[in-house]
Structure 1
Amino acid sequence: MAERRTRRPSLWSRVRPTQPAIPWHTIVGASVAGALTIAVLGLGGDLVGTPILIAAFGSSCVLVFLLPDAPLSKPINVVGGHLLSALCGLAVHAVLPTAWWSLGLAVGIAMAVMAAARVVHPPAGGTPIAIMLAHEGWGYLLTPVLAGALVLSACALAYRFLLRRLERRPGAPAPRG
């Protein structure tokens, strides 16, 4: 019998995007919401005189606004993930020097704690790194981490509420699947 030759998949077929396309109205709305949320966090910090914005909140905006129905985008995941990760970063920083291996250890511990608490939020993995590299103290837990995560979650909830109202309008684009 002749041997059947199977065709190897091309490199492009192995690396091309496989996630479903996101409708343009969703991309625009989510991008505006993310930009406004980061601006609110920045302005809020200026108004109260203490920062409530950290870099990891940019990644959180990608999740909560572009994928608002994903389990990792729920407010409990955003707040709990950042809070627990910050605790891990602060604890590791309190007992170990800041080095490549302690940064990795802090992120690994944060991942385990988030998973055990069932509040995994991938952007929160950057929180311990920011804490340790900037040599932050325990006050960082409340501001900017907790305060910022709460504001971000409130903005995300407001966005979801607005989306639901707009989707019920006559002539509105079809709801996201």
Structure 2
Amino acid sequence: MNYLKKFKGQGEKLPAKSNINEIIFAWFGGFISIAIIGYLTKSYDNLLVMGSFGASCVLLYGFPKSPFSQPRNVVLGHIFSTFIGLIFFHFIGNEWWSMALALATAIAVMIATRTVHPPAGSNPLIVFLLGANWDYLIFPTLIGSIILVIVALFYNNLHKDRFYPEYWF
């Protein structure tokens, strides 16, 4: 019975509301990042868009101080998770349990290396769903995540009250 009582929550208050200026600033940050990545994808015929990059933008512009939003977490979290997905997909096989093992391993590796970036947790699943090849590690994973960090670096620091990043390595 004590176990089920935990489902009620701890009674903590909701986080403070963001003001409209912060919401608009985050909106533009996400727009600019994905617009640049989308434009580069179309212009140079190289895949730079990943579904998980949308969630990365939520963290980069909505919560730039979070450890999950820092450059090492964004880039390395995406790289490690995609790489692990590719290893499992290509060497273990396209099975439901292999996909589950890839995801679990990606979580463990990100925690162990202090590179947790929650959006990157979806990368092994994306690899399996797309049947991605090894070049997916470079385009879009590495190049796209670096572009996200560069845009966040320039954009977040335009705000008078923001300093990004909190740390690099």
TM-score range, shorter chain: 0.7 to 0.9
Identity in percent? 35
Q: Among 123, 127, 144, which residue is 1:127 paired with?
A: 123
- In 1, the alpha carbon distance for the partners of 2:161 and 2:68 equals 23
Max radius of gyration: which structure?
1
What residue is the counterpart of 1:147 in the other structure?
143
- In 2, the alpha carbon distance for the partners of 1:51 and 1:16 equals 42
| Matching of residue 75 in structure 1 with residue 71 in structure 2 | yes
1:40-55 superposed matches below 5 A: 40-55=36-51
Q: 1:116 to 1:167 in 2, by over 3 A?
A: closer
Structure 1 residues not aligned, in runs of 5+: 1-10, 169-177
For residue 68 of structure 2, what is the amino acid of its counterpart?
Answer: L
Structure 2 residues not aligned, in runs of 5+: 1-7, 163-169
- In 2, the alpha carbon distance for the partners of 1:45 and 1:80 equals 21
Q: CA deviation at 1:36?
A: 1.4
Higher relative contact order (CA 8 A, sep 6+): 2
- In 2, the alpha carbon distance for the partners of 1:96 and 1:144 equals 23
For residue 24 of structure 1, what is the amino acid of its counterpart?
Answer: I
Computed over aligned residues only, the root mean square deviation of the Cα atoms, in angstroms, reads: 2.0
For residue 105 of structure 2, what is the amino acid of its counterpart?
Answer: I
Q: CA deviation at 1:104?
A: 1.4
Q: Among 63, 87, 93, which residue is 1:91 paired with?
A: 87
What residue is the counterpart of 1:109 in the other structure?
105
TM-score normalized by structure 2? 0.86
**Matched-pair contact (CA < 8 Å) for 1:98–1:133:** no
What residue is the counterpart of 1:36 in the other structure?
32
Q: CA deviation at 1:14?
A: 7.4
Q: 1:101 to 1:158 in 2, by over 3 A?
A: same
Kindly tell me the number of residue pairs found equivalent between the two proteins: 156
- In 2, the alpha carbon distance for the partners of 1:79 and 1:17 equals 32
TM-score normalized by structure 1? 0.82
- In 2, the alpha carbon distance for the partners of 1:40 and 1:127 equals 21
| Matching of residue 138 in structure 1 with residue 125 in structure 2 | no
For residue 155 of structure 2, what is the amino acid of its counterpart?
Answer: Y
- In 1, the alpha carbon distance for the partners of 2:145 and 2:139 equals 9
Q: CA deviation at 1:97?
A: 2.4
